[in-house]
Amino acid sequence: MLSCSLLHAEEVAETTTMEATIEVRAAAFYHTSDKYRNYYKSLDPSYEVEFSFSCDPCCYAWWGNLAWFNSKKEVAGNNCKSHLTACSCTTFVTPTTKISVANFSFGIKFPYYFSDCLVGYFGVGPVIGNVWFENNSNRGTRRTSKVAYGAIAKLGIDYYITQCVFLDLFVDYLYETVHHGRHYDIGGVKTGLGIGLRF
């Protein structure tokens, strides 16, 4: 994975200058933390935009990624609604809690050329994000914001439909923690599909 494909390098050495890609990705995000899964959901959708560039695309590429996911859950408990059903003049709010996460990650990835149309890759890098917590109840809405840190490992295969358009089948492992009274692991495994352009 960490070495160049020598045959491909010989083929493109004379014509390659700088190469860049941009892609839109969607994934199913499975959270590895038991505490997170018990409090929110086990599976959430994640949406991403990823950019990469390289002056030697047969050997490496630098990448940057913006990702977003959120989860919402009704909080179990007594909200007094069941005891005051006869009073039609009172508005009750079902207690809910919501988490939203925006992440920026960057790093390096290394390609492996199976063929001209099929390129595998492995990548690593750090992650920094912002986490918003929102709790709604009859007492009102309470919002807090925290910074999260972590790292990500990326594995995938790019299939080039044309010379410039490709599909990206990927699996990412994200480890990320946020301190909110105590440390919470909000990371997990993401698997999904992206569509991108090479230019």
Q: Write out pLDDT tens, residues 106-161.
A: 999 999 999 989 999 999 999 999 999 998 877 778 889 999 999 999 999 999 99
Pair of tokens at residue 113: 């050329």
Q: Write out pLDDT tens, residues 64-77.
A: 999 999 998 876 55
* Phi-psi domain of 184 (left: phi exceeds 0; alpha: psi -120 through 50; beta: other): beta
Q: Write out pLDDT tens, residues 82-101.
A: 444 444 445 556 788 889 99
| pLDDT of amino acid 183 | 84
Structural domains in the chain plus CATH codes: 6-12+22-74+89-198 (2.40.160.20)
Average pLDDT over residues 19-30: 97
Extended strands (E) in the chain: 19-31, 43-54, 61-74, 96-113, 118-137, 140-160, 165-179, 183-185, 188-198
Pair of tokens at residue 63: 């990448």
Q: Is the pTM of this model over 0.75?
A: yes
Q: What is the largest CA-CA distance in the chain?
A: 81
Residue whose C-alpha is closest to residue 153's, from 135, 172, 136, 127: 172
The pLDDT-based confidence of 41 (bands split at 50, 70, 90) is confident
| pLDDT of amino acid 93 | 63
